[in-house]
Structures are given as structure tokens and as C-alpha cells.
Structure 1
Amino acid sequence: MGLQHVLLWSVPKIVILGPPASGKTTIAMWLCKHLNSNLLTMENMTTTEYSYLAKQAKSHYQKFKTVPSILLVRLIQERLKNEDCIRRGWILDGIPETREQALMIQTLGITPRHVIVLSGPDTVLIERNVGKRIDPQTGEIYHTTFDWPPEAEVQDRLMMPEGISELETAQKLLEYHRNIVRILPAYPKILKVISCDQPCVDVFYQALTYVQTNHRSNAPFTPRVLLCGPVGSGKSLQAALLAQKYGLVNVCCGKLLKGAAADKSTLGELIQPFFEKDMAVPDSIILKVLTHRLKEQDCVQRGWVLHGFPRDLDQAHLLDSLGHKPNRVFFLNVPFDSVIERLTLRRTDPVTGERYHLMYKPPPTIEIQARLLQNPKDAEDQVKLKMDLFYRSAAELEEFYAYAITINADQDPYTVFEYIESGIINPLPKKIF
């Protein structure tokens, strides 16, 4: 009986959410096959006539392409009482769609163990959706550009789903964004955000790794947060927001080194020549400055958010060996074109010191615009060089920090912050510690 109880406790109870064309149905189907579990979708619950509730839901869905929340939640409750769901668990695809549904599901005692939220740029999602095709026999989803089936017989029977035009997709995305920010707080301790703007297999393995972990206890912990990402990905802003809201110490490696160089200490005298010659400061010196800061009482007591270091695998190993292990790691992903747009259009007014952006915050007058200057570091060739250096080491860093959370940072900074927050609240697997 004890073994049976353990087996039932460990069965999958998973919710997968994401915007249109994020691939959530594909990931849900793959997880279902891999875990030998039950896939629950709006379609298969309303088209399988195994109960009066299902017939009601089917009738409503056929007329309005939606099901009233209270009917949908009762249908889920009834389905989860079936023997197959009790023994093999379940994966809910795209449900809940609203905060109302999330709260109704919780009220009935239906509690997922893992919630996965797929995230990606709207432009990518619209392109994906327009090319989507479905196999009516198997339910498998294909794409005219990215995933066309090799078999001619499969190609011939593929159908274009309804409601996937560019305008319809954009409207659905708008509605999704409005809803998801209100759903996320319902799952603060069991949530993982995964970027869907990467190969589907990579998304699947990140999802699989996550759903096969057991959560830690909810005991309080001191956050030690590491933000990784290319230049222009918003690390400084996110670190400032985290420091402001949670009282963490904002540790920017670049500012630390500048501060050390300015205070004329022994370490500062070592750093100054590298600054004057515009050369990289050696890792051994950086780590001395960084270790000194992270050992100070405020960092130990309140926790810290670090950015600007480590930049490669060797630095990550060194940081780890000195006992400064982050317990939350986030990779902020931003497309190359977006970084170029963010940085190369920045300007400074040499008279007032005011900062502008030619697209997002243009100068108010032609006179001011005429005197604006660009920081040499924001020149396109310099930005490209820094991005290239980051991405050379990014894959190794992601492998080193195996439980890092990848976030699409090419969106409103406060939306990015909400995803980071959910990742900080969400407990990590025991083996991390």
C-alpha cells in the first residue's frame, strides 16, 4: 500500500500555458507520450461523449467556440475522477485561460504540481501561426516552413485550422497577454517560464526536466540571483527593480570595478592600468573585488542580485569554487535586431546630461537633437562585438547553470520583471542546494 501511495503521489499533474503558436499543444502531447499520462484539452474533453456534462460542453463549444468557465471546470473535475487520470496523472493543455478559471479550479482542490508557461515574441508567434497545419487523423501539428512532414499522404490530408490569420492571431495574443499576468500569481511556487523561441526539442527537454523534479519545502531563503544576458538585454533595469522591491543588494560587476579603481586602494591601483588601456581586468582581480563585496554583511543578510559576471564558463567555475553559488539564475534573451535598436539609437545631451533615445524618447526640440552625442560604446560595431562575445559562451553557461530560467526579454520590462519574480518565488529542486 505504501508503494502504491508513493506512485500515486508522483503521477504527473501538469498545466501548460502559452500564447497562440507557442507550441504548447505539441509540448503537451510529447510530455503525455513520454510520461504515459492523459492529455486534457478543451477539444478532447468536449468531443468525447462520456457524460451529460461533456454533451452540454460540446453543444456550447460547437456554437460559440468556447465553454462557460463553470461548465469547463466541472468537466475537468469529472474527468480527473476517472481511473486513468488517478493512476497515470494528467496534463492540462491551455487551461486555465483566465484568472477566474484558475481560482475555480483551485477551489475544487485541483492542484497541479508543475505549471509551465511558454513565452515568445509576438512577431515570431504570428509568423508561426499563419503557417500552421493540422493532421485530422492524428491531431499532430505541422508548419509550412519549419516542420513539413516528409510523407506525401500526410501532406495531402493536412488542413489549415480556423482563426489563424495575422489579424485574428494578433487579437488572440492581446487577449492572452491580458489574462496571463492575472493567472501567474495563482501558481507562485510551482511555475517555470520557458522561451518557445528556440527549437521545439529544446523546449521539450527543459519542460521534461522541470516536471521530473520535486519541489523543495517552502521555507524562506536568502535570494542570490544571477542575471545573464547580452549587452542591452535589460539586466541593469531588472536588477534595480529586484533590489528595490525585495531589498536585495544590487551588485553590478562593472560598477564595482570602477568604484574600486576610484578609491585608490591597493586593488584599485591594480585595476586602474587596465581601465586606462581599455583592457579586460583579469579574472583573479575581479574575483577579489567581487568576493569582498559578496561577503559583506548586507549581502549575507539580505541577499544579492549579480550581473556583469560571470561572462564565461571559467568565471562561473571560479565563482562557484569560492562558495558564491546563485540559487536563482535567469538568462534574458533578446534578438540581435532588438539590441541594436535599443543601444545604437541612444544619445546624451552634453549640455544637460539628459539621456534620450531616438525612437522611444526623442529630444523635444531640433536644437537639442543637433547637439546630441552617441557614446562610442553604443556604436553598432561595438555592440555586435559584445553580443558575439556573450553568445560564444552562452551555451556553456546555460549548461553549467542547469536549472536556469530562460526569459524572453524582448517585451515590456515590467512583464519581464513579473516572469523573474515568479521564478524567484518558485522553489528549486533539492539537488541544487
Structure 2
Amino acid sequence: MEESEQTPLDRDVNKLLIASQPLSGGIDASTAPHRIPADMLQYGEENNIFEMMQSLLEQLLIYQPSEPIQFMISHLQLNNDSVPKIVILGPPASGKTTIAMWLCKHLSSSLVNRDILSLRFSSMSSDVYAEFQKTEYLTSPVLIHLLQSRLAEDDCVRKGWILDGIPETREQTLMLQTIGIVPRHVIVLSAPDTVLIERNLGKRVDPKTGEIYHTTFDWPSDVSIQNRLVEPQGISEPETVQKLLSYHRNIAEITPLYPRILKVISADQPCMDVFYQALTYVQSSHRSNAPFTPRVVLLGPMGSGKSLQAALLAQKYGLVNLCCGQLLKEVVATQDKIGMVVQSYFGKKAAVPDTLIMKVLVHRLIQPNSLTQGWVLHGFPRDPDQARLLDALGHKPNRVFFLNVPFDTILERLTLRRMDPVTGERYHLLYKPPPTMEIQERLLQNPKDSEERVKFKLDLYYRNLAELQEYYPHAISLNGDQDPYTVFEYIESGIIAPLPKKVH
């Protein structure tokens, strides 16, 4: 996260977390990698240790309890760090109340909006409420006070909450942040004003259930419901235009206060589509502030694009690009003792034993840049035994991707590859044909690209695929039969997103 996007509380918490780290290089061990257990970061991410500590520190800074130890114990016992905390904003007639109600039903959370808080306000002092009845307006301090007391109740603490149309102004947003009411997801619905005005004119409300209907787009089939629908106040065109002007003025000041957690969704589409987009977003996890060193394994058949994706990852994130076959060739070139042994297997065209492969691979994995920058490995492991061996030696990957490409596509990609023996230029008879007939006539095919050899390699891969997928249950499967940069975006999002939380 950029410094400018961090709230003061975020900065204070991160400073405290950094200061509490006992090792001079931070948790990524950039200055002392040998002192860090290889599985420390994996354990921290799998158990959400950083997020847990960050939440504790936030609560301590907000409430400043006299008994901090007991306070932290009570907070951990609540076990509610992952419950929904959602804000849904939008102009009049954008459907935010409907979406909020549907999300509440789906997530079993508590709905809170201005109307609900107004009803609670009626139980306060008669003089204050009498003034409210005259103006029909809750001042910001009163609204935030009511909201704070509502969110502190047991159902909101245990099951989470969804705020419908709150906060309404920058002032209210800052007041919420000051008292520690910070959502995890903020949704802003958006639609053209002309559409919203037309929608508002047809709005009807069921006074019994609070459900909102529309004379054109969402008319109930039940006659009894139709008969009891009423036209809400304040939906005329002049009133709607005035509300839209006020909304646009306020929302422009609110959105910058939620830079990392806000998503804009078009409300000018079927309500069910809006709901599913909102649901997908609120069920997603934001990128963690925890220090993270990627250890990525790309699995897939030959020709699935692993080498290209590894190169893209290495280029963008500075990861060490580890191709097992290339490592073996490099060690042979050194002509040292291990290289001579590997060369003997190459000479016999025999498979290099797993133990020898691991010796070469581990030597590269323990180099400082691999430990501090992270790595992306492809070409290994090829079967469950190699995967277990990699883990046993302390180099367990924290992200695994399967690139799935149809059998026929692999054959097309590989068997049509050719090379010009004169220039060394590589061609593909379908995707990159030679420019002249003269060049085409002298093109050669690498023996490993013959159809027989490709089918043999594919058979070996698919023979081990099911067991590898079982060994890596949290691996991400991707469609590799699409534009390489689209595949890269999916891989990138899988690396940036935190691991799924454990379900106890």
C-alpha cells in the first residue's frame, strides 16, 4: 500500500509491528536469512498471524483499556476478525437497500440503516426526540452515537454488519474512523441520473416487510402484496434531483477516505447481476500488509506456457526464475563433481535421479537472493514423490498453479514448431510462419517436438496429475489456453491475494 493511501492508524500499527520484530532483517530476513526457519513465513500466512496481531494492536490503540492483557484475551475469544463489515453507498433509487438486505440474508449479518437508527432514537429523551420529529433529521453526532451503540450489540459483534447508506458525509466518515468503526468492504453503486429519476418515480414499499418494489421493473406477483404497497415520500422528480445533487457532492468527499477497500458497481443492470458482483467482492480478501516472500510452483504439461509465465513473474516481481532442466544444464557446464555425474546421465539419455536433482535444486534455493527475493519454480516437481521431497527439505511452496491446456492445443503448439538452421530463428507454422518459401524449405523440427515424443511426455504428466492435485489441495487451476497476459493476470492475483482462511 502506498504511504498516501494509509490511514494514520494503519501507519501507527505497521510501525509497531515492525518495531516488535526480533530479527534485524525483518520477517523476510533480508539481512540474516540463515537465522529464519524456512517454514516461518508459511506458518505466519496460513494462520493469519500478522493480521491477528494487527487487529489486536488496532483495538488496543482505539480503546486503550486499563487491562490490555485481559482485553486482548477477550478480543481473541470473540474470534470475529473475519465477520462481514460492509458499507453500501449509492444515490437514491440505485438499489442499495435491496442489495444490502439480500447480502444480509446471504451472509446472516445485521442490517443497519438510518430508518432503523431513527426507531432506536425514539427511546431516547423525549425533548431530543420531539426536536427530531419536527426536523426529521438526525445530526451527525447523534447518528454516529446511535450507530456505535448498535454495532456494539451482540448480534453485530458475532455476525457482522452491513451499513445501508451510512456514512452520508465526509464528516460522518471521519467520525466513524476516529471511533474505530472501519469496514472491510465498501461498495458504491453508480448509475446515470436519468435512470435513477425514472426508477424513483416507480418505487413502492411494502409497509409490512420493508421490501422495495417497482411498478415497471420489479412488481410482485402476489396480489395481497400488490394491494398493500404504498408510495414512499420524497420520490417526485424535483425532490429526487435535489437528493442526487446532495449525494454527488458528498460522495466525492467520502470515496478518497476508503482507498483500498472500495469497489464501484454499475447499478444500471439487472438487480441480480448487481447482487452477485457485490457478493463476490465482499467474499474476497484484500491484499495483506504482512511481509511476504513468494515461493511459486507452476505445474502443467509441456507447452502450457510455464516458462513464459515464470519469466513474466521474475521480471515484474524480481523473483528468481528456476527451471529445473536449465539448472541441470548449468551444473553440467561447471564441470565440477556433481556436474560430471549429471553429464553421465545426459550422455546415456537416462533420467537424472530425484536425489541428484534435489541436490542441484536445493543448492540454488538456499542462495541469498532465492531466500530474500522469492522464487518461481517450473519443470519440478513432476510427481508426488518429488513434491514430498521438496517439502521435506524445507522448501515448501506457498503458491501452486496448474496451467490446464487441452491435449489438441498442446499438440498444435509443439509439433508445428520449427527452427531455421541458418539464422537460428524460431518459427511456428501456424502462429509465426516463415516469411518466404526458401526459409520454409530449410526449417527443421527439434526431435523433442515430434508428435510421438510430445504424446509420450503428455502421458507422463497426466499420469501423475491427479495425485499432484491431491497433494496440493489449495492449488489454483487456470485455463492456460488463452492470451498469455490474461493467464499472467490470473496468476498475479493468486499470488497477491492471501491464502484462504482456515475453517475451524
Alignment partners' CA distance in 2, 1:414 and 1:350: 30
State which of 307, 312, 318 in structure 1 corresponds to 2:383. Answer: 312
Q: Which residue of 1 aligns with 2:495?
A: 424
| Structure 2 residue 458 is the aligned partner of structure 1 residue 387 | yes
Identical aligned residues as a percent: 60
- How far has the Cα of 1:212 moved from its partner? 9.7
Alignment partners' CA distance in 1, 2:77 and 2:432: 62
2:296 is paired with a residue whose SS is strand
Q: Which residue of 2 aligns with 1:29?
A: none
Instruction: Check whether the contact 2:285–2:497 (CA below 8 A) recurs between aligned residues.
Output: no
Q: Which residue of 1 aligns with 2:316?
A: 245
| Structure 2 residue 30 is the aligned partner of structure 1 residue 10 | no
Alignment partners' CA distance in 2, 1:403 and 1:233: 20
Q: Which residue of 1 aligns with 2:334?
A: 263
Evaluate the alpha carbon distance shift between residue 368 and residue 387 of structure 1 in structure 2; reply closer, same or farther with a 3 A threshold: same
Instruction: Check whether the contact 2:421–2:444 (CA below 8 A) recurs between aligned residues.
Output: yes
The TM-score normalised by the length of structure 2 is 0.48
Q: Which residue of 2 aligns with 1:374?
A: 445
Alignment partners' CA distance in 2, 1:83 and 1:233: 39
| Structure 2 residue 151 is the aligned partner of structure 1 residue 80 | no
**What is the number of equivalent residue pairs in this alignment?**
271
- How far has the Cα of 1:85 moved from its partner? 2.8
2:95 is paired with a residue whose SS is helix
Alignment partners' CA distance in 2, 1:372 and 1:314: 39
Q: Which residue of 2 aligns with 1:303?
A: 374
| Structure 2 residue 311 is the aligned partner of structure 1 residue 291 | no
The aligned runs of 1:177-256 (5 Å cut-off) are 217-256=288-327
The aligned runs of 1:88-237 (5 Å cut-off) are 88=108, 217-237=288-308
Instruction: Check whether the contact 2:478–2:487 (CA below 8 A) recurs between aligned residues.
Output: yes
Q: Which residue of 2 aligns with 1:154?
A: none
Alignment partners' CA distance in 1, 2:318 and 2:385: 30
Evaluate the alpha carbon distance shift between residue 316 and residue 2 of structure 1 in structure 2; reply closer, same or farther with a 3 A threshold: closer
1:306 is paired with a residue whose SS is strand
2:326 is paired with a residue whose SS is helix
Instruction: Check whether the contact 2:333–2:339 (CA below 8 A) recurs between aligned residues.
Output: yes
| Structure 2 residue 346 is the aligned partner of structure 1 residue 275 | yes
Alignment partners' CA distance in 1, 2:497 and 2:475: 12
Evaluate the alpha carbon distance shift between residue 83 and residue 398 of structure 1 in structure 2; reply closer, same or farther with a 3 A threshold: closer
- How far has the Cα of 1:381 moved from its partner? 1.1
Instruction: Check whether the contact 1:80–1:86 (CA below 8 A) recurs between aligned residues.
Output: no
CA distances 1:126-159 after superposition (whole Å, capped 9, x unpaired): xxxxxxxxxxxxxxxxxxxxxxxxxxxxxxxxxx
Alignment partners' CA distance in 2, 1:265 and 1:339: 37
Evaluate the alpha carbon distance shift between residue 75 and residue 393 of structure 1 in structure 2; reply closer, same or farther with a 3 A threshold: same
| Structure 2 residue 364 is the aligned partner of structure 1 residue 344 | no
- How far has the Cα of 1:217 moved from its partner? 4.5
| Structure 2 residue 382 is the aligned partner of structure 1 residue 362 | no
Alignment partners' CA distance in 2, 1:247 and 1:214: 24
CA distances 1:379-423 after superposition (whole Å, capped 9, x unpaired): 111111111111111111111111111110100000000000100
Evaluate the alpha carbon distance shift between residue 111 and residue 274 of structure 1 in structure 2; reply closer, same or farther with a 3 A threshold: same
CA distances 1:193-214 after superposition (whole Å, capped 9, x unpaired): xxxxxxxxxxxxxxxxxx9998
Evaluate the alpha carbon distance shift between residue 238 and residue 2 of structure 1 in structure 2; reply closer, same or farther with a 3 A threshold: closer
CA distances 1:251-306 after superposition (whole Å, capped 9, x unpaired): 00000001111211111111111111211100000000000000001101111000
Alignment partners' CA distance in 2, 1:339 and 1:240: 20
The TM-score normalised by the length of structure 1 is 0.56
Instruction: Check whether the contact 1:348–1:355 (CA below 8 A) recurs between aligned residues.
Output: yes
Alignment partners' CA distance in 2, 1:380 and 1:311: 21
- How far has the Cα of 1:431 moved from its partner? 6.0
Structure with the greater alpha carbon radius of gyration:
2
Deviating beyond 2 angstroms after TM superposition, the runs of 4 or more aligned structure 1 residues are: 1-13, 69-72, 76-79, 81-87, 107-113, 186-190, 211-218, 429-432
Q: Which runs of 5+ in 2 are unaligned?
A: 1-73, 111-164, 169-181, 187-258, 264-281
Instruction: Check whether the contact 2:324–2:377 (CA below 8 A) recurs between aligned residues.
Output: yes
The aligned runs of 1:11-90 (5 Å cut-off) are 74-81=94-101, 84-85=104-105, 88=108
Evaluate the alpha carbon distance shift between residue 235 and residue 83 of structure 1 in structure 2; reply closer, same or farther with a 3 A threshold: closer
Instruction: Check whether the contact 1:227–1:235 (CA below 8 A) recurs between aligned residues.
Output: yes
- How far has the Cα of 1:83 moved from its partner? 9.1
Alignment partners' CA distance in 1, 2:92 and 2:471: 46
Alignment partners' CA distance in 2, 1:237 and 1:356: 16
Alignment partners' CA distance in 2, 1:272 and 1:265: 10
Taking only aligned residues, the RMSD between alpha carbons, in angstroms, comes to: 3.8
Alignment partners' CA distance in 1, 2:85 and 2:457: 42
